[in-house]
Amino acid sequence: MLLQIRPPAPKEADLTTVYDAIVVGSGAAGGMAAHVLTSHGLNVLLLEAGRKLDMESELKSMEWPYDHPRRGEMPRDGHAITLNEYTVRQPPYAKDTPYKHVYSYVQGWGGSDYSKNIVVDEKDHPYTGTKYAWVRARLLGGKTAIWGRLALRLSDYDFKAKTHDGYGEDWPISYADIQPYYDKVDLYLGIAGHKENLPHLPDSLFQRTTRLNPSEVMLRQSLKKMNRVLTPYRAGVTTDGLKHNKYRSKCYGRGACNRRAGGCDIHAAFDSPTGLIYPAMDTGHLTLRTNSTAYEVTVDPATGKARGVAFADSQSGKHYEARGKAVVVAASTLESARLLLLSKSNAHPNGIGNSSGHVGHNFCEHVMGPSILGRVKDLVGKPRTLDDGRPGGFYIPRYRNLEDRQPKFLRGYGFEGGGGTGMIPGRALSTPGFGADFKKTVRDEAGAFVHMGGFGEVLPRYESSVSIDPAVKDRWGIPVLKFNYAFGDNEKQMALDMAVTGKEMFEAAGIEVLHADADVLTEGWSIHELGTARMGSDPKTSVLNQFQQSHDVKNLFVVDGSSHVSASCQNPTWTIMALAWRSCDHLADELGKGNL
Amino acid sequence: MKREDPAGLTRRDALKIAAGAALSVPALFTRAMAASATAPAAAASAPRFFTKEELALLDELAETIIPADGHSPGARAAKVAGYIDGRLAEAYLPVEADVQQRWRDGLRRVDVLSQEMNGAAFLAASSEKRVAVLTRMAASEKDPQTAEEKFFRELKATTILGYYTSEIGIHQEMEYKGNTLQQEYAGEEPT
């Protein structure tokens, strides 16, 4: 029943030829660029710094804990950085560690043995500056290998946020410009959800929705009276299957994506390799070169245009240059900024595409931390039900600063959450006592908990930035990023409001509140970094135009989250892909006209 | 970390639970808390780290924390002591040598406390008196102060980890319904 289609055989990269386009990075953005450009018949070389992993043997999604020699844990010589370490230490966090491998905090989640080859070893990938929980995955597919799957659209509340409240900049596009591309992404990749007709969270073209547990239904019904919405998790997961994609199965509700850092070994959850890259390879137009660590966009000195990409073979360390008529940077928000800043030449002394001085700046993301834990008394002691056989719980869209104007903060936040129990009763450790009563309490209460946590928009500020630290180099000798970034008062005020309104919503629904926490987690925790090469119509204050095309270098495009003008409070992956699709259509068109 | 949960449930973990997720196993415990390594449930008869006597004591302690009841077998049947023994045998010694020592000390302290309270070693005491020893050790569970109280916390955390990830814990005790192929999602469609 489950698919086991092998990936297509790769073609050897030809470094003597000039490709139509070179794409750097194979995550959501780079995968989409490869898909769209090859669909236009262009010959594309895709460079990925990491390895290609056999995801089926990495993830083993249905392996039971007791069938694993360490109950799913990674070997003991590996260490996941803790919240406390992120708080009390400065990067680089792996410095002077006694451990053989150090990973970002996501390796402190369940099933760390299944993701230890997916996230980077911090020893190889240091960074400096202010504290930041930077989660990176270097492999074919990037972070889509384990992403959280919440797939949301932005609206004109986001694209025209400055018009709405005066802060920051509007995007150079409106919802009408991107809406057809959101539709294309929905249909090509599959998304589950339930229509709500909200102006601030537009509906997608949904496949079969996931369902709600009893406590979630309670909360949804109660929220209606407050004019707020709880909707099933809008998951970037194909719940009905995709006839046009042989590499992906429909979702069978195994719940594996929630037991691990993430990942789906039947690829019902979108990942870039099976969703985008393998189909692109099947066109015959895509050449994939993994183990290729890009460190410079090279420049034709005669024209100042991009000539190609210099990279080190990640295994041999040998250096190469690939040449293309266009260069598409999609290395992730922070790595793309790093690559542009590293690409200094006479024509581009501050880094390619950086005449504005805005590359690395206006860095923004989502603030996390405030969370509410509740218990539904009526569900205590009820017979066990299947609560986690689905790719996610629920989402409560933004309700602040839409028609109202909050006095203490701008913009808004949403909540992700869910009710019921998973495989392992998470509250056992905080259940007091021991013995038969303890055991019964754990058993009886497991299905009665409901929990949610907020994701809030972080304002972009020019001074929130990353720059190159020439003093520290990564394993390949490439200078690393230095962070100059911290949450401000707006984020702190917003977080306080999250805790207050979250508690109110539970109480209004008759859910007993056990815990309401307003503390903010370390910067970076959301893994939603954005904004370091923003779009705009003014080349003096922005890096890219509305097609993610460099104002300075017309054959250079940056199609990942770095292009976002503001963070909104919605998870960014679906917007990254819709924008990349739109921009790559434009790129193909311009290349065809000889305009690049 | 959530303040009420010093064993180290992070908030994103909590979110994952909320999202209908299993609480991540290692996330339940910080390194310091969870002691150490890994390892398959070793046979109770062949300890890899503890002595036979220590393992027998640990086995009884684990069963006292999560006993067999009318619903399902307890920690003994789930071979929790063997699981803990395996973790400690595979401890990463550059970091966790003290963890091994802490467990040895902890078990010894249980017997010392039992002698003080009951005039007998833990295994030699009646089951009522054993419970009294653990009750004393569990007195300040949320904010353990003494070495005995801290050991209880570590013992309980690791027993929970071993038990609820075991076949008995998942299937018989918790009657977990998932990790199977579903044609339809459970629950209700929103109205």
- Tell me the chain B residues in contact with residue A72 when contact means C-beta distances shorter than 8 Å: 25-26, 165
pLDDT confidence band for B20 (50 / 70 / 90)? very low
Contact A552, A340 (CB under 8 A): no
Other Cβ atoms within 10 Å of A17 Cβ, number: 12
- Closest to A543 in 3D by CA, of A565, A528, A572: A565
Give the pLDDT of residue A5. 83
Query: How many pairs of residues across A and B have Cβ atoms under 8 Å apart?
Result: 309
Interhelix angle B93-118/B52-65, nearest 10 degrees: 70
* Closest residue to A388, CB basis, from B22, B69, B164: B22
A258 and B36 within 8 Å at the Cβ level: the answer is no
Domain boundaries, chain A: 55-138
Which are the contacts of A142, defined by CB distance < 8 A and separation ≥ 6? A25, A26, A27, A28, A30, A48, A50, A272, A332
Which residue in A350, A393, A279 sits closest to A44, CA to CA?
Answer: A279
Per-residue pLDDT band for B45 (boundaries 50, 70, 90) equals: low
Q: Nearest CA to A473 among A130, A137, A124?
A: A124
pLDDT attached to residue A3: 58
Q: State mean pLDDT over A291-310.
A: 98
Distances in Å between the Cα of A62 and the Cα atoms of A65, A254, A260, A376, B173 are 9, 8, 11, 30, 20
B91-119 confidence digits (pLDDT tens): 999 999 999 999 999 999 999 999 999 99
Beta strands in A507-596 (DSSP E): 512-517, 556-558
Over range A31-35, report the average pLDDT: 98
The pLDDT score that the predictor gives to residue B86 is 96
| DSSP annotation of A388 | S
The residue type of A452 is M
Find chain A residues with C-beta within 8 A of B7's C-beta: 429-430
From B52's Cα to the closest Cα of chain A, the distance in A is 22
- pLDDT band, very low/low/confident/very high, at B36 (cuts 50, 70, 90): very low
Beta bridge partners of A292: A313
Q: What confidence score (pLDDT) does residue B3 get?
A: 30
SS3 A298: strand
Cα distance from B18 to chain A (closest Cα, Å)?
4
Tracing tokens 């890009």 back to the chain, one arrives at: A294
Q: B190 near A212, Cβ under 8 Å?
A: yes
Mean pLDDT score of chain A, rounded to an integer? 97
Q: Is the pLDDT of residue A106 over 60?
A: yes
Interface test with B, best of A390, A434, A455, A514 (most B CBs within 10 A): A434
The size of chain A, in residues, is 596
Q: Which residues of A touch B85 (CB under 8 A)?
A: none
Tell me what pLDDT residue A171 has. Answer: 98
Give the pLDDT confidence of A496-540 residue by residue, as tens digits: 999 999 999 999 999 999 999 999 999 999 999 999 999 999 999
Which chain B residues are closer than 8 Å to A425 by Cβ?
23, 164, 174
Measuring CA to CA, which residue among A87, A48, A520 is closest to residue A287?
A: A48
Q: Which of B69, B90, B138 sits opposite A433 (nearest CB)?
A: B138
Does pLDDT of B43 surpass 60?
A: no
- Say whether pLDDT at B23 is over 50: no
Amino acid letter, residue A52: K
**Sheet with A413-419: strands ordered across:** A231-232, A394-396, A413-419, A449-457, A366-375, A512-517
The residues pairing with B101 across neighbouring beta strands, listed in sequence order, are none
* Residue B164 to residue A80, Cβ atoms within 8 A: no
Q: Specify the 3-state DSSP secondary structure of A284.
A: coil
- Rounded to the nearest 5 percent, the helix, strand and coil shares of chain B are 55, 0, 45
Q: What is the mean pLDDT of residues B13-22?
A: 37
pLDDT above 70: percentage of residues in chain B: 76
Task: Tell me how long chain B is.
Answer: 191
Mean pLDDT of B162-182: 97
Which band of pLDDT confidence, cut at 50, 70 and 90, is reported for residue A2? low
Q: In whole angstroms, what is the distance from residue A504 CA to residue A482 CA?
A: 40
Under an 8 A CB cutoff, do B22 and A433 touch? no
Helix (H) / strand (E) element for A481: namely: strand A479-484
Q: Which residue of B has its CA nearest to A435?
A: B65
Instruction: Look up residue B33 and give its two tokens.
Output: 């808390």
Angstrom distance (rounded) from CA A252 to CA A525: 29
How much is the average pLDDT of A192-219?
A: 98
Give, for A417, the enclosing helix (H) or strand (E): strand A413-419
Quickly state the pLDDT bin for B50 (edges 50, 70, 90).
very high
- The reported pLDDT for the residue numbered A525 is 97
DSSP classification of residue A104? -
The partner residue sitting opposite B14, judged by closest CB among A76, A210, A451, is: A451
Give yes or no for residue B9 having a pLDDT over 60: no
pLDDT digits (tens, 9 = 90+) for A119-138: 999 999 999 999 999 999 99
- pLDDT class for B46, splitting at 50, 70, 90? confident
Q: Give the mean pLDDT of A25-40.
A: 98
| CB pair distance less than 8 Å for B1 and A84 | yes
Q: What percent of chain A has pLDDT over 70?
A: 99
Contact B20 A435 (CB under 8 A): no
In this complex, do A422 and B161 lie within 8 Å of one another by their Cβ atoms?
no
pLDDT at position A109 is 86
Nearest CB to A112 within list B4, B20, B26: B26
Give B-chain residues touching A432 at CB under 8 angstroms.
138, 141-142
